[in-house]
Amino acid sequence: MHIDLLKYMSDRIHEENGRNKEPGPVITISREYGCPSKIIAGRLGEELSRKMYIKGKETKWKYITKEIMAESARALEVDPEKIKYVFQYEQKSLMDNIVSAQFNKYYKSDKMIRNTVAKVIRNMAHEGHVIIVGRGGVAITHDIPRSLHIMLEAPMEWRILRIAENYKISQEDAKKAALEVDKKRKEFREFFQGKESDYTWFDLTFNCMTFTIEEIVHIILKAAEIRKLI
């Protein structure tokens, strides 16, 4: 999927819903495996909402995660469990796809599922005041003017220690997991915009080994103010 198709999707969503407002604001957070993205997204949502309240606005920022899979499943008319593998960055084999297409009338291809996920994310981003972690968010929403795109990274050894501790596995297994998940996440982003596209680049990149969670949240808040997202 390239930028022309994303623009088409955006225009269609706008037409179908009769929206007149400017899309966004939206913040996306991508991460290397082992970086504390959910904690950062949660705290960021709280601080953004607090700043909105101080400015006399009731609008709350939401950290979107499970809602994406639930809404995608609803749009596809399937059980969320049937598409869960896509959210775990897995793909069906060619043979699995052929067999499923022949014997399952509710069969949905990987491409159809991923494109539906993109439409759901575009819709949520258009509504605005959302923080999207992963799911190819940077590629899917990069052309929205009122957006901010964050990347969380850290040295491999630091991430290995965190993963091993969090999941109670050996450092060797933690390294294998980190390499595998990082590769799958990168491929997932590139599915929507093409390999090494400018639309998979980020506005801010943080080293989670040297920045605390509080510092990262504080800097993102400042960037959001500068970009007039709040």
Annotated domain spans of the chain: 3-17+24-68+129-224
Its sign, for the CA torsion 35, 32, 68, 23, is positive
Q: Is 226 exposed, middle or buried (0-12, 13-18, 19+ CB in 10 A)?
A: exposed
Interatomic CA distance for residues 152 and 37, integer angstroms:
7
* pTM of the entire predicted model: 0.81
92 Cβ neighbours under 8 A, 6+ residues apart: 85, 100, 110
To the question of domain 3-17+24-68+129-224 being in CATH 3.90.850.10, the answer is no
Retrieve residue 177's tokens: 């997991």
Task: Give backbone dihedrals phi and psi of 201, rounded to 5 degrees, phi first.
Answer: -90, 165
- Buried b / exposed e along 65-89 (16+ C-beta atoms within 10 A): beebbebbbeebebeeeebeebbeb
Interatomic CA distance for residues 203 and 70, integer angstroms:
29
pLDDT tens per residue across all 230 residues of the chain = 333 444 444 554 544 444 557 899 999 999 999 999 999 999 999 999 999 988 888 889 999 888 898 899 999 989 888 888 887 766 554 444 433 444 344 457 888 888 898 999 999 999 999 999 988 888 889 889 999 999 999 999 999 999 999 999 999 999 999 999 999 888 887 777 666 566 567 999 999 999 999 999 999 999 999 999 99
